[in-house]
Chain A
Amino acid sequence: MKIKNLLPGIGAWLEERFGFRGLSRFLNEKRVPQHRHTIWYYTGSSILLFFFIQVVTGIMLAFYYKPTIEEANKSIARIMAEVPLGWIIRSVHFWSSSFMIALVLFHMTSIWIIKSYRKPRELTWMSGVFLLILTLFFGFTGYLLPWDDLSLAATKVGTDIPRSIPWVGAWVTKLLRGGEDVTGDTLTRFFGIHITVLPLCLLFILVIHIYLIQKLGMSLPLGLDKKKEEVKELPFWPNFVYREMVVWLVLSGILFSLAIFLPPSLGKEADLMAPAPEGIKPEWYFLFLFQTLKVFPSRILLVTGDTLAVSLLLLAGILFFFLPLIDYRPEERKGKVITFIAYFFIIYAVVMTVWSLVQ
């Protein structure tokens, strides 16, 4: 067998057994519409890129991280000081999480504004909401793992918030904490969730999300879907993928540069008995929620400010989840109101975040 025929030979051997032809035919025929909103199509694959980076760096960190309250902080200090280039791996993991969450927020907001969730893509949106929640949970559980005084305080506050949910609140808090308070059990629980439960759930829902996208095709923005014939299209492979590769290269370059020049530091080991340190803040993607809770008065009529705020947030979340079913007449006035709400939310989130930072 000639060397030239080796790869195609192996390909043919595998094809006889796996039968890839259908998949490769699908990929070759897949088309991506070209219009002024095409730029947002790039967010999806970039999220996957950063998730992949998280998995790889996360596995490497898990080789040395020890999830007990005695060892957690020390093991990360060891990763940063002793393990060769450990500080870079940790820094990449830290920055890539921010990049991934930022891209998820971009992705979600763009879909909201161009209303890609219209029939028949409602389930794609709903699975996407689950993916958003899982991603935020990744960030939340990961934040505790260094077990320094800031992450302990942030986790105490963060796991206390669900307590304000009517009826099930205390139960949720106990489930998250592994008891009434944040202890070593919380740490091991968060670590187990971070490296097994969340990745498995994410992969499962991601498969559904991606399947739906391939099955239903790329959506067209409002107005253009009536003029489908006039819309230019690009083949997904290789035209669109080459363009995506350019985006991946630029984003990875920015990621590694930031990771090398702005690595995260490690605070001193948490003390369960110490008072809360000054200036505790959650990660940036939770700041607007943090500030929203702060501005609510401590009591309103018969309920605490917290209960009202959390209930309102939950209600907003539920409405958000069912958005495709609510916005079923997007061209009409209701649809325009919902678009306005999307812009309002962006401005609200930015303003609250800035406010919480300058306080």
Chain B
Amino acid sequence: MMKIEKLAAFILISYLLVFSIFSSSFGQQASPQEKAKETEVKKAPEKIVPSPHNIKEKTAIYVFLAWMWVSILVLIYILRQKIREVDRLYTLKFLGSDF
């Protein structure tokens, strides 16, 4: 890619990545409205932050994430092998269709 396109792509990628990661904290911050002196008892919490409910769920989530990434790496490895194979077959002009 030409230099300026590389720069544009880099700016675009970093902008979108950074701001999509941080948009969750920027977009949903609830600011406390305790400027007034009234002592209003707030029954509902200011903000609900979600999280796994118990340690069993927490471990299950970590196990799942590990399993997911391992699977993704395995599947990508197999896909790369398949890609090499079909590219090789294409350059050999082999037109069978048992993929």
Contact = CB atoms under 8 A, between A and B. Distances in A.
Q: Do they bind each other?
A: yes
Interface of A: 28, 36-37, 77, 80-81, 87, 90-91, 94-95, 98-99, 102, 105-106, 109, 113, 148-150, 234-235, 237-239, 242-243, 245-246, 249-250, 252-253, 256-258, 260, 262-269, 274, 277-279, 281-284, 287, 343, 346-347, 349-350, 353, 357
A239 B30 contact: no
B86 A238 contact: yes
Contacts, number: 137
A256 B16 contact: no
Interface of B: 1, 4-5, 8, 11-13, 15-16, 19-21, 23-24, 26-31, 33, 42, 44-51, 61, 65, 68-69, 72, 75-76, 79-80, 82-83, 86-87, 90, 97, 99
15 contacts: A109-B12, A148-B30, A150-B29, A238-B86, A242-B79, A260-B61, A263-B49, A264-B28, A264-B50, A268-B46, A269-B44, A284-B20, A346-B12, A350-B12, A350-B15
Given A113-B5, A250-B72, A268 B50 contact: no
A148 B44 CA distance: 12
Contacts of A98: 20, 23
Nearest to A86: B50
A243 B49 CA distance: 38
Given A102-B20, A113-B8, A238 B72 contact: no
Contact of B48 (A77, A102, A274, A287): A77
Given A238-B86, A239-B86, A260 B11 contact: no
Contacts of A105: 12, 16
A109 B49 CA distance: 35
B30 A36 contact: no
A277 B30 contact: yes
A113 B26 CA distance: 30
